[in-house]
Structure 1
Amino acid sequence: MTEQPAPATYRFGSFSLDAETGALLCEGVPSLLGQRGTALLRLLLERAAVPVSKDALIDAAWPGLVVEDSNLTVQIAALRRALEPSGGRWIETLPRRGYRYIGPPVTRVEANAADDAQLTALSVPEKPSIAVLPFEQSGEAAWFADGIVDDIITGLSRIRWLFVIARNSSFVWRDRLADIKQVGRDLGVRYVLQGSVRRADDRVRINAQLADATSGAQIWAERYDRTVGNLFALQDEIALAVVGAIEPSLRRVEVERILRKRPDSLDAYELVLRAQPDVDSGMPDRAAVALTQLSRALALEPTYGLAHGLAAMSHHNRFLRAGLKEEDRLASVRHARLAIEHGRDDALALTFAGFSLGMDAHDRQAAFAAFEAALALSPSTALAWILGSVVAGWAGEAERAIDWSERGMRLSPFDPWAFAAYDAQALGHFQRDHYAEAARAAYKSNLANPAHSITWVQLAASLAALGRMEEAKAAAACVLELQPGFRISGQFAGVDCAPELASKLGKALRASGLPE
C-alpha cells in the first residue's frame, strides 16, 4: 500500500489543497474534491513533475481494492475540470504509464507552518497592487538601473486604480535573491515587477518581467535593446514603454480574476472591471451588457469617473453601430461630461470622455483637451494616443492620426484597442492617397477585430481605391452582414467626417457596393 504523506497544505498557482479536509481553494473559493479526488491530487502534487504510475494512483485512491482503469480516468477528468479556471492543462497523460503534474511550482506547507504564515502575511489590498524590485545590474549601470526603476514606480503611481509600493519598501530587496511569492507575502502585493540592465560598449539591454505573486506565474515580459546616447532620455523612454505595456496587461489579468468571482459579491470597482471587455469589443450588443454592470457601479458610486467614461463609450458603440439613435448620442455626451467632472485625476476616464466628445459631440477641441489632460497625468496611457488617433483620422488630420496611432501601439503593441489604432492609420493613409498603405493598415485592423464592422468599411474603401473590386465588394458584404443598417451618409454624419475625406471615402465605398 502506498504510504501517504503527512497532512499538509499544498499551494500551487492560485490554488491550495488542504489534504486533511479535501478542500481545494481557488483564491479563497472552495470546492470539495471528495476522498478519492483528494488522494489522487495529493499524490500528484507530492511527486510534482515526476511520472506517477496508474498502479500507484489506484493504490492511493482505492487502497486494497481492484478497480478498472476507467475509474481512474473518470477521477482524473474531474480533477482537470476543477483546475480548469486557471487555464491550461496541468495533469499530463502518459500513455500506458500513468499521469504527471506539470502545473505551477508546488509548495508543501505543514499545517502549523501554514497557520503561522497566514497570521504573519500582510493582507493584499482589494485593488490591484504591485511592487517594483531593484533591477539587477552591472556596476557601471547601477545608477541607470535605479533611475529606470524610480521612473517606473512614478509612472505606475499615476495609474489611479493601482496600489504601488513605495521605493523605500521595495528596495530592501536589493542584492537579495527574490522569491516572487515571498515578496508578495512580505510586501502585501498581488504583482511583482523585476528586471535586469546590462551594458556592453555602446549598447544597453533591459529585460523586464511581471509576475503574479500568488502563483509565481509570468504575466508579461519584454526586452529592450538600445544604443547608448542621451542616457537620461533613454531612461525615460524605457520607463515609459514598460509602464505603457504593464497597464493593459494588468488590467486584462484583473478582468480575468474578477470574472471568476460571484457577481453578487462585486463592488463598484469590480463591476467596472467586469464591464471592461464588453466595452473594449466595440460591439453594440456587448455594450448593452456593459451598461448593465456600469449602471450598478454608478448606483453604488455616482461620482465614479471611469464608470462614466466607460458608459460614454458604451453609448457611443450603440449610437454608431445600432441605428444612430439620438438618445444614445446624448447619453454618450452626458456621461463624457460627468467623466471629466468626476475623473480629473483618472487618465482613462479622461480618455474615454475625450473620445465621446470628439466622436459624438463633434467637439474636437474639447476632445483633444481631454486627451492631453490624460497624457499629462500619465504619459504612458496608450489608449489616449489610440483613441485620439481615431478622432484625428475622421477629422481629416492625417499626420496626427498616423503619428498618434503609432505612439499608442509602441506603448501597448497588443492592446485590446489595436483595431482602432490601425483603423486610424488606414484613414490617415487614405486621406494622403496612399491606398496600398491604407489597405495594409485596414487588414491589420480587420485581423485585430473582425467582428467590428468599421474594420471592413476601411478595407472595402482601400481595396476599391486600388481597383481590387472583387475583394472590395466581398468586404462590403461583410459590413452589411455585421451592420445591416449601415449607410455611408449616416456613418459620415455620425462621426462628422471631414468633407474632403468624406468625398474620397464616399466614392470608394459606393464603388464597393455599400448603400448611400
Structure 2
Amino acid sequence: MPPASLSLRAMGSCGVDVYASPVLQGKRRSIALIFYVAMTAPHRFTRASLAALLWPDSDEERARSSLRQALSDVRKGLEGLEEGALEITAHDVALDPKQIETDIDRMLSGIRDGSFDDDLSAEQIEASFFGGLWGLSEPLDTWLTAARGRFEQAIQKTCSDVMEQADLPVAHRIRAARLAVQLDPLNEDAARLAMAALAQMGETGPALRIYADLYERLDDELGMEPSRATQDLAVLIKTDDEGAPQSATPAQVAAATPSGAGANANMTQPPRLAILPFTQLGPHEMQPFFSYGIMDDMVSLMAQLRELRVYSSNSTRQLGAQVTGADAAPVLPTAGMPGGLEAEYCVSGSVRSDGNRFRVNVHLTDARSGLVEWASDYIVDDHELFDMQSELAASIAHQITPNVGNAELRRIEGTRPSDLGAYHLMLRAREIAFALDPTTFGGARGLLEMAVQRDPSYSTSQLAMADWLSIQLGQGWADDPAGDARALHETAERAVQLSGQSARALTRFAHNQTALSGYRETAVDTCRRALRAAPRDAETLLWSAPTLTFEGQTAQAIENTQAAIELSPFDPYIFRFFHFLSIAHYAAGEYLEAAEAGRRSFQANPHYTSNLRMTAAALMEIGEIDEARKMAGQVKRHDPNFRVGAFLAKQPFRDVQIGQKYASRLIEVGLPQ
C-alpha cells in the first residue's frame, strides 16, 4: 500500500514525513505538537492547552507567541497534505487521524502478519520511543511516559492475540511469544508457548533457557516458583520421561543445556570491531581532532548494537598512527601484547576536504587475514556528515552481522549538532582534556562553554562538559568544588533531556545523582535502563559500575568494569576504570583486590584524589599502614579541603555500614574529620 500522506516516526529519532519526505527537521516542539494532537483523541486541542503543554514555564503572552511560531512552521511543513488533514484556527488545532500513519501502527501490523524484525526486543522498544522529544517540558514528558505505556500494552496484547491463534504457523507464534516474554518476563503463558514451540522444533537448549530466566525472575521479584504446569513442561522437555520428578531448578535446567553452561550456554560471543582514526588528506588542512570526531561518533553509534563488541574510541584513537596511507590495511597490536586488541574486524579510511565538501573513503578489513571485506566512498557536504555516519554504521554492521535487523539499526541514529563550529569546539576541548595537563586543562572548559552556547541542544557537548567537571573534581583541581558539583549534576541532567535518553547520558546522570547526593534507588533504575539499551558500550558499562556498587550489586559492577577495561585497554582515563573497580571490590569486602586495583589506578594517574582515598582505605584493611599514610599525604596535598564528615553526610552506599567503615579508615589514616 502507498504510504499515508502524513507519517510519524515515533521509534528512534522522532520525525514527521509528508508523502515519505521528512519535514520540520530540527524543530522539536513543532514535531512534539504534531505527535500530541495526532496520537491523542479527539485530535483537536485548544491553543491554550497546547501552549501550556509545550511552554509551561513561560508567561501566557510569551507562550502564545512561541505557539504561533511553531504553528507557522507546522503549516509550512504540512502544506502538501490533502485538504482537511490539518486545521488551524484562531482557537484550536486539529489533525485528521485517517490521514496519519505511525511506525508503531506498522510494527503492530508486522506482529500480526509475522513480518516484524527478528531482533525486535523489549529493550529496544523501551529505549526507542519518542527519541528527541524528552525534556522539552514536564507536562510533555508526562504525556510521553503515558503514551509509551499505552503502546507497550498494545504490543503486548497484539503478541497475545497472535499466540492464541492456533491456525497460524508455529514459527510466527513463537516469535510473538518471545517478544511477549521480553515485554513481560513474568508472563508464564507466553513462556510456556515459547518453550513448547522451541522444543517441538528441536531447540531444547533455548526452550530451557526461557524457563531458567522465568524461574530466576519469579524468585527475585515475587519470591515464588513457576506454576506446576510450567515446571512440568520444563521437566518434560528436559528429560522426555513421564516418570521424571515433578520440579526443576535452574541448576537442573542448566545441566540439561548442550554445553552445561546455564543461561549463556551455546551462545557465541559477538565479533569485536576496532574503528581507527581516519587519515586526513589534502588539499585543505584539517585539525587532527576532526578525524577523531568521525571515529568517536561512529563508535558511539555502533556500540549500541548487541551483535558487536566495539572497542572504545578512547583506545583506538592512539592506533591511528599505524595506518600508513589511505589504502593501507590497519595494523593492530597483537593479542599477546598486554592490553592488546583482539579485534576480528577493523574500520579505517581517509577523509579529504576541499572546503565545505568532504570525500570519505572507508575500508572494513578482516584483522585476522588482512583482507578488505568491504569498501565504499562518500562525497558529502559538511551538514551531511552525520547522516553519512549513521549510514556508514549500518552498512558496516550488515557486513559483519548480516542478520542485524532494521529495529536494531533504528537505535543507532545519533544526535546531530546544528552548528558545525560548536561541534569542532567540543572536539578540540576533548583533545585538550585528554592530556590531563593542569596548565591547559582549564582552557578546555572555555571551549566547551562556547560550544554549548553556540549549540545548546547538542547533548554530546553537555556530556563532554560533564566529563570535564568530573575530572576537575576527581583531580582536586576545582576552585569551587560545591559549585562544580552542582554544575556537573545540572549538565548531566540536561544531557539526558536533550539526548532522547541515551545510555551514556543516563549512566552518567545516575552516577552523579548517587555520588553527589547519597544513595538513590531511582538512580539504580536509570542505570538498568541504560544497560538494556547499550549493554556492550564501554562508557555505559563503566559508569554503571559505581551505581551498581552503591546498590550492593558488587559482582555485576566488577563484571561491568572488567568488560569496560577489555573494550578500552588504552584509555587515557584508564585510571578511572581501575578506581571504579577498586570501589566495587572494597564494597564486596575483597580488600586485597581493591588495593591492587587502586594501585593500578595510581600508576596511571597519581593525582586522582578519589582513588587516593579509596586505595588508602583498602590498604588499611590489609594492614599496609605505611603505604596507606603515604596515599593520605597525597590527598592532603592535592585536595586540602576534603573532610570525612562531608563525605558521611552524603555517603552513597545503600548499606550504610560500608560507608561508615570507609570513613573510619580515612580518619585512622590521618585525613581530617
| TM-score, length of structure 2 as denominator length | 0.39
Matched residue type, 2:461 = A
C-alpha deviation, 1:281, in angstroms: 7.4
C-alpha deviation, 1:382, in angstroms: 0.5
**Residue segments in structure 2 that go unaligned for 5+ positions in a row:** 1-278, 314-326, 331-347, 353-357, 378-399, 405-418
1:470 and 1:208 map into 2 onto residues whose CA distance is: 55
Deviations 1:334-390 (A, max 9, x none): 222211111126443344333323322446444344444444444332011112212
Deviations 1:448-504 (A, max 9, x none): 221211222122112222222211111111111111112222234455345211222
Q: How does 1:380-391 map to 2 (within 5 A)?
A: 380-391=536-547
CA contact (8 A) 1:288 1:314 kept: no
2:576 is matched with which residue: 420, 424, 430? 420
2:449 is matched with which residue: 280, 295, 315? 295
Tell whether 2:670 aligns with 1:504: no
C-alpha deviation, 1:282, in angstroms: 8.1
Quickly say closer, same or farther: Cα 1:471–1:349, change in 2 above 3 A.
same
Matched residue type, 2:549 = G
2:365 is matched with which residue: 179, 185, 194? 194
Quickly say closer, same or farther: Cα 1:440–1:303, change in 2 above 3 A.
same
Task: Give the secondary structure class of the aligned counterpart of 1:189.
Answer: strand
Quickly say closer, same or farther: Cα 1:495–1:354, change in 2 above 3 A.
same
Matched residue type, 2:366 = G
The residue aligned with 1:446 is 602
The residue aligned with 1:405 is 561
Deviations 1:222-281 (A, max 9, x none): xxxxxxxxxxxxx98xx9xxxxxxxxxxxxxxxxxxxxxxxxx97111222222256567
2:551 and 2:498 map into 1 onto residues whose CA distance is: 28
Quickly say closer, same or farther: Cα 1:433–1:155, change in 2 above 3 A.
closer
The residue aligned with 1:331 is 487
1:210 and 1:451 map into 2 onto residues whose CA distance is: 45
The residue aligned with 1:483 is 639
CA contact (8 A) 1:344 1:350 kept: no
Matched residue type, 2:444 = A
2:592 and 2:328 map into 1 onto residues whose CA distance is: 50
Task: Give the secondary structure class of the aligned counterpart of 1:467.
Answer: coil
1:309 is matched with which residue: 463, 466, 480? 463
Quickly say closer, same or farther: Cα 1:341–1:435, change in 2 above 3 A.
same
Matched residue type, 1:273 = L
1:210 and 1:292 map into 2 onto residues whose CA distance is: 41
1:336 and 1:294 map into 2 onto residues whose CA distance is: 14
Task: Give the secondary structure class of the aligned counterpart of 1:515.
Answer: coil
Q: Provide the alpha-carbon RMSD of the alignment.
A: 4.8
Quickly say closer, same or farther: Cα 1:267–1:488, change in 2 above 3 A.
same
CA contact (8 A) 2:281 2:351 kept: no
Larger strand share, 1 or 2: 1
Quickly say closer, same or farther: Cα 1:376–1:269, change in 2 above 3 A.
farther
2:576 and 2:292 map into 1 onto residues whose CA distance is: 31
Quickly say closer, same or farther: Cα 1:190–1:440, change in 2 above 3 A.
farther
- Per mean C-alpha deviation after superposition, the further-off stretch among 500-509 and 294-303 is 500-509
Quickly say closer, same or farther: Cα 1:472–1:327, change in 2 above 3 A.
closer
Deviations 1:407-461 (A, max 9, x none): 2112222223322221222222223332221111111111122121122212211
Task: Give the secondary structure class of the aligned counterpart of 2:360.
Answer: coil
Quickly say closer, same or farther: Cα 1:208–1:358, change in 2 above 3 A.
farther
C-alpha deviation, 1:294, in angstroms: 1.5
1:372 and 1:392 map into 2 onto residues whose CA distance is: 9
Give the fraction of aligned pairs with identical amino acids, expressed as a percent. Answer: 23
C-alpha deviation, 1:154, in angstroms: 7.5
Quickly say closer, same or farther: Cα 1:183–1:474, change in 2 above 3 A.
closer
CA contact (8 A) 1:347 1:374 kept: yes
Matched residue type, 1:27 = E
Quickly say closer, same or farther: Cα 1:400–1:414, change in 2 above 3 A.
same
CA contact (8 A) 2:280 2:350 kept: no
1:392 and 1:457 map into 2 onto residues whose CA distance is: 20
C-alpha deviation, 1:300, in angstroms: 1.1
Tell whether 2:27 aligns with 1:27: no
Quickly say closer, same or farther: Cα 1:375–1:283, change in 2 above 3 A.
farther
1:287 and 1:494 map into 2 onto residues whose CA distance is: 28
Tell whether 2:671 aligns with 1:514: yes
Q: How does 1:353-392 map to 2 (within 5 A)?
A: 353-362=509-518, 364-392=520-548
Matched residue type, 2:492 = A
The residue aligned with 1:108 is none
Task: Give the secondary structure class of the aligned counterpart of 1:341.
Answer: helix
Q: Which has the higher contact order (CA 8 A, sep 6+)?
A: 2
C-alpha deviation, 1:326, in angstroms: 3.7
Deviations 1:173-219 (A, max 9, x none): xxxxx656997479943664411557xxxxxxx999999x9xxxxxx
2:601 and 2:328 map into 1 onto residues whose CA distance is: 40
CA contact (8 A) 2:612 2:632 kept: yes
Quickly say closer, same or farther: Cα 1:468–1:268, change in 2 above 3 A.
same
Quickly say closer, same or farther: Cα 1:380–1:469, change in 2 above 3 A.
same
2:661 and 2:630 map into 1 onto residues whose CA distance is: 20
Q: How does 1:260-271 map to 2 (within 5 A)?
A: 267-271=421-425
Quickly say closer, same or farther: Cα 1:446–1:300, change in 2 above 3 A.
same
1:282 and 1:126 map into 2 onto residues whose CA distance is: 18
